[in-house]
Structure 1
Amino acid sequence: MSGRSPETLPYGLGAAILTVLSFVLLEMLLGGLLADLQDTLGITDAQLGELARVLATGLVVSTLLGWRGLTHAQILHDAPSPPLRTLLLTAAPLLALLPLLWSVNGWMDWLLQALLPLSAWEAEWFSHAVDGTFASTLSACVLAPVLEEMLFRGLILRGLLLRYPPATAIVHSAALFGLAHFNVYQFFVGFSTGLVLGLAYQRTRSLWPCVLLHAAFNAGVLWMASSDGQALSDAIGQPLWLPVSLALFAWGLRRVLSLPSKA
């Protein structure tokens, strides 16, 4: 089967769900195996979880690449325009979306925690996940953006776009991206950013703009978390924050939508 054209192996929604479930189960299995080495490695629970997630993502991506007969180059950039040109063309519009995305997800996080307060374990886990150490920063801003984009946009969304209309495929992939975080607090951030990331991929068929946006979003979250959210609260409290964020988002979205669709 690996000798067939990649375009003859589209993902249905069921196969995409099975892939995400396999990824989650593998992440849990690796987490359990690594727990025995936690003291030896000298890592926190959050760092262990991030390590398990990175390893699970890499293994699933490698397996699917082999099964579908795809190369890393095809996944990272499958468009006629050079990668650097694509990145330069999309960087400013995509980065312009960030202020509103940070704001919306900050408000959603506040609402969810008001309705469903974090347990002591969850609060400790999230605090360690964004503690600003080299390991958490490397995972959030480099490894996760590259590997997760390869899995959720480069493989899953790529396949869904062969089976469904673009809007349906993007919504499905965004929902699966949110569910793969395996907690309600990160579902909405995963879903909302997944919509934007999916649109960027559908328009460009390149993961480099997606990796840039993913990394920049995570970097902003880490920076805001370093002040316990005060930096975002102070920014949102400024009178011009919302209108400027809306204007930037509208401009960026318009520019992204003006790109010729590759679906």
Structure 2
Amino acid sequence: LGIWPLGPLGRWFRYLGIALVVPIAIVVAAVFLSAAFGWVDLDLAGLSGFRAQLAAAVPAGTPLPPLHLLLVLQLVQIPLGAVINSVFAAGEEIGWRGWLQPALMPLGAWPAILITGVAWGLWHSPLILLGYNFGRTDIIGVLFMVGGCVMWGLFLGWLRLRTDSVWPAALAHGSLNAVAGFVVLVSAAGSTVDMAVVGPLGVVSWVLLGIVMVVIVGLERMRVARPADDTSSPG
């Protein structure tokens, strides 16, 4: 299941760092890229969307710190939230990347990763059909979820293969959950946020994940193809 042993600790912690940072970077980049193309309206100066959330959650007249300070505190807490969420995500990851993906490895690494991603997405179907994640209560919503899980599954599956451990995948899953609400914090009040496009499981994130995985695979192939250094003495 990849629960134990942890392998060389230096290498294991390096991949934990990658697992923590990459989901945050992709989700944040997806929001700003979407804004650049006009797919979401941001309000970074007034934080009107964040202000509206607070107004709905906090009784009127409650003294609060400055809005931008609250936003900074929210962002600073994302890494801690990733660690906490990884505890809950571990239950899923032990099933998906811990057991199912290795069980499918006789089919090949990429088929195992892709099939696991599809299963992961379909497993969420009941929630998606209730309107969670995308606000779509039909097969289109399920297909968006499957697409998102397949694309994120590429990254999580790669972490599982490279570390022979389920914990980096669990931390990446927790990191994704922790940063999932970023777009809501920075969007303009009253604007329509199509999570199927700009959300953490949306199409823009798929594109960015595809680019990241192409770069990762390319770098790994270059490393494998690089000839060994010639350490022999001259003459």
| TM norm structure 1 | 0.43
Larger Rg: 2
Q: Which structure carries more helix by proportion? A: 1
Q: Which has the higher contact order (CA 8 A, sep 6+)?
A: 2
